[in-house]
Amino acid sequence: MGKDKSFYFLEMNTRLQVEHPVTECITGLDLVEQMIRVAAGEKLAFTQSQIQRKGWAMECRINAEDPLRNFLPSTGRLVKYQPPAPQNGVRVDTGVYEGGEIPMYYDSMIAKLITHGANREEAMSKMRSALNEFVIRGIHSNVQFQSALLQHPRFISGNFNTGFIAEEFPKGFQADSVIPADANRLPALATFVHRRYLERAKLLEGQLLGHEMKLTQEFVVMAGADSYSTKIEHKDQGYQISVKANQGKRSIKEYLLESDWVPGSIRLPYQLQGGSALCAQIERPSLGYQIIQDGVGFSCIVLSPFGAEMQTRMPYKAPPDTSKLLLSPMPGLLSKLHVAKGDKVSAGQKLAVIEAMKMENTLSALQDGVVEEICVSEGSSLAVDQIIMQFAK
């Protein structure tokens, strides 16, 4: 549709479209039911003039793909699958289940998330909340990317077109592509989560007399080059948390947080004083925490002030050098090898083709070199980051 509201037909598909729930939400009609009735020979029981549009609806396609790897397909087992509850203008259309397998043979869409509100702002608000509650683990999904889009000022304003993603994310979607609206809230959540883990540990029996675990109030949240000094204490039915960034203006932000979260739960429902119900997702890989909310990923460790000082003295461990390896960027089927052992290759030359989810993905050389070893054969099923070939050093 043009800016002057003129319509132009790009294609005509005589089938039900993926976006049919949007129409159903604003009209109250079940399009699938109507198609079945028409196929059975019935006539429509209403006319065009009787169809009323109510409110605003929008839909997010939830796909099994990795936004941080240029949206390459992701396959595997759904270790966790907890869609938001279908209520209050939130609808989930899906056919997958927790414990099920997402294979490489079909389209990457695994669910449709639809919200309906009185206007666009209400529909977007419900969508943000629903995306924050949508738990998918075991495979990568585009939920975090969808959340990032819903936070973007240009999307919120409605001033965008089909080139929006290419224009706003020219280098692709990165972990730091989204700037949090409140940079101190995530360290506050990390402090709360860490304190709850410590409270649970304090309940363990058999602690040595005179050396029982003591709960402290002051912590340091370390997230890469950033760190935050925090203090947490019980107040009323929740926790009073203060956060001070150890860089920049160093202003102190106070939060009164209430939550019934228990350690081990991925969903972290909470409420700030005077605010509405919110939800984040929390995991505990290794010794740190990974918090995701509104498209922002926050990885950190929470230490005592003394532990944080010692952490700054730890030696830097460089990541392994993979410049001489061709790694599979996705799970899939190695359908074609374009080179063999001993071949000289040039930058940009095709090396291999991987098939996944009805797409062919061509891997090319990033630099000149000589193939030293082919580690897999054509027809092999590949895992993410599996070595396909090695180049001479």
pLDDT in tens, 92-129: 999 999 999 998 888 899 999 999 999 999 999 999 99
Burial (CB < 10 A; 0-12, 13-18, 19+), residue 377, is: exposed
State how far the Cα of 311 lies from the Cα of 109, in Å rounded to an integer: 42
Cα atoms found within 13 Å of the Cα of residue 204, Cβ hemisphere only: 13
- Cα–Cα distance measured from residue 125 to residue 115, given in angstroms and rounded to the nearest whole number: 9
Q: Which domain holds residue 329?
A: 325-391
From the number of C-beta atoms within 10 Å of its C-beta (0-12, 13-18, 19+), residue 125 rates as: middle
Is residue 77 within 8 Å of residue 22, measured between CB atoms? no
Of 258, 286, 311, the residue that ends a domain is 311
Q: How many CB atoms lie within 10 A of CB 102?
A: 22
Strand partners, 270: 278
Assess whether 104 and 76 both reside in one domain. yes
DSSP label at residue 149: H
The reported pLDDT for the residue numbered 249 is 67
SS3 131: helix
Residue 319 lies inside a defined structural domain of this protein: no
Q: Determine the Cα–Cα distance for residues 312 and 296; give it in Å rounded to an integer.
A: 25
327-368: pLDDT as tens digits = 998 888 999 999 999 999 999 999 999 998 878 889 999 889
State the pLDDT at residue 178: 86
Structure tokens at 243: 């956060």
Query: In this structure, are 31 and 104 located in the same domain?
Result: yes
Q: Which two tokens stand for residue 257?
A: 């947080």
Last residue of a domain, one of 263, 283, 311: 311
Q: Indicate whether 160 and 44 sit together in one domain.
A: yes
Q: What CATH code is carried by the domain that includes residue 350? A: 2.40.50.100
Cβ pair 207, 300 in contact under 8 A: no
- Residue 112: inside a domain: yes
Domain count, the chain: 3
Measured between alpha carbons, how far is 11 from 25 in angstroms, rounded to an integer? Answer: 24
Q: 275 and 373, same structural domain? A: no
Q: Are residues 268 and 347 in the same domain?
A: no
Is residue 32 classed as helix, strand or coil in its secondary structure?
helix
Clarify whether residues 26 and 137 are in a common domain.
yes
In this prediction, the residues of the chain whose per-residue pLDDT falls under 50 are: none
- Residues 205, 196, 210: CA angle, nearest 5 degrees: 35
Q: Are residues 247 and 298 in the same domain?
A: yes
pTM: 0.85
In sequence order, the 6+-apart residues with CB closer than 8 A to the CB of 233 are 217, 239, 240
Asked whether residue 193 falls in the same domain as residue 139, the answer is no
CA distance 148 to 178: 6
97 domain-assigned: yes
Q: How many CB atoms lie within 10 A of CB 202?
A: 12
DSSP β-bridge partners for residue 326: 389
* CATH number of the structural domain spanning residue 156: 3.30.470.20
Q: Which residues are catalytic?
A: 11
